[in-house]
């Protein structure tokens, strides 16, 4: 029995030393300390305001967490065509992405909400070509009951910083 305990202890010790040595070779000396102390922080970005200039009370326009930024839906609440509405919304998304330190080329996921699914082909005309060489993944839906604020289109996204 004593020889088995000695062998197991020795084997564990050898494995532990090997793992420690491998980690020292692969990781820089301060990586372990950084990993334990640095945590992603949630950061809000200014955006929509209430009519008196205060922050929107129900939600943030953009939040970053780690290396991602999440943009709330932006709609177009004016009269116009679906192409005009889509262009305006994409222009506003781009402004918000730039303010947060990202860009249209770094968008990973897009959600498009259409007031009328029949607008899908014309919305695509305005949507195409805005995302760089690799467009983001996308979901497009026409919610029952329409879009709050009677917008023709609303778009939100997730991007990399």
- Contacts of residue 48, defined as CB under 8 A and 6 or more positions apart, other chains included, come to 56, 61, 72
Give the pLDDT score at 68: 96
- Consecutive 10-residue averages of pLDDT for the chain (161 residues): 52 49 41 56 65 65 92 94 98 95 97 97 96 95 92 97 93
- Contacts of residue 65, defined as CB under 8 A and 6 or more positions apart, other chains included, come to 40, 41, 42, 43
Give the pLDDT score at 2: 54
pTM for the model stands at 0.69
Contact 44, 62 (CB under 8 A): yes
Instruction: Please tell us whether the domain made up of 42-160 is placed in CATH 3.30.1330.40.
Output: yes
| Euclidean distance between the first and the last CA atom of the chain, given in angstroms as a whole number | 58
Contact 131, 105 (CB under 8 A): yes
DSSP class of residue 82?
Answer: H
Q: Which residue ranges make up each domain of the chain?
A: 2-37, 42-160
Give the pLDDT score at 40: 78
Give the pLDDT score at 42: 75
Query: Tokens representing 30?
Result: 């301060």
Phi, psi of 4 (to 5 degrees): -65, -45
């Amino acid at each position: 029995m004593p020889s088995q305990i000695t062998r197991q202890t020795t084997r564990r010790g050898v494995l532990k030393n090997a793992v420690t040595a491998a980690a020292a070779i692969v990781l820089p000396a301060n990586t372990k300390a950084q990993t334990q102390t640095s945590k992603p922080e949630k950061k809000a970005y200014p955006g929509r305001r209430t009519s008196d200039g205060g922050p929107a009370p129900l939600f943030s326009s953009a939040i970053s967490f780690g290396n991602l930024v999440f943009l709330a839906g932006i709609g177009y609440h004016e009269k116009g065509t679906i192409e005009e509405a889509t262009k305006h919304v994409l222009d506003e998304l781009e402004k918000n992405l730039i303010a947060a330190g990202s860009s249209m080329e770094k968008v990973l996921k897009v959600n498009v909400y259409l007031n009328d699914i029949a607008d899908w082909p014309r919305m695509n005309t305005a949507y195409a070509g805005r995302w760089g060489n690799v467009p983001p993944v996308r979901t497009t839906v026409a919610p029952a009951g329409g879009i709050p604020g009677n917008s023709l289109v609303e778009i939100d996204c997730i991007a990399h910083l």
